[in-house]
Amino acid sequence: MFTFSDVVLIARKIAVGILLTLIPFVLIAGGIWLAWKFFI
């Protein structure tokens, strides 16, 4: 059986993995959006 601390550790690892996956997409999308704002 999982203890509560095990669940928290697993959830943190998953959350970090999701964040590390999303950050590049957010940066790219933000960069494209800023380019559109400035050049158009």
Query: What is the Cβ-side half-sphere exposure of residue 2, based on CA atoms within 13 angstroms?
Result: 8
Give the model confidence (pLDDT) of 1-30 as tens digits: 889 999 999 999 999 999 999 999 999 999
Dump pLDDT digits (tens) for 25-34. Answer: 999 999 999 9
pLDDT of residue 40: 77
Q: What is the pTM of this model?
A: 0.56
Show Cβ contacts of residue 2 under 8 Å, excluding neighbours closer than 6 positions: 10
- Looking at per-residue pLDDT, the higher value among 7 and 40 belongs to 7
| Positive/negative CA dihedral, 17, 23, 28, 29 | positive
Alpha-carbon distance of 2 to 10, in angstroms, equals: 10
Has residue 38 got a pLDDT over 80?
yes
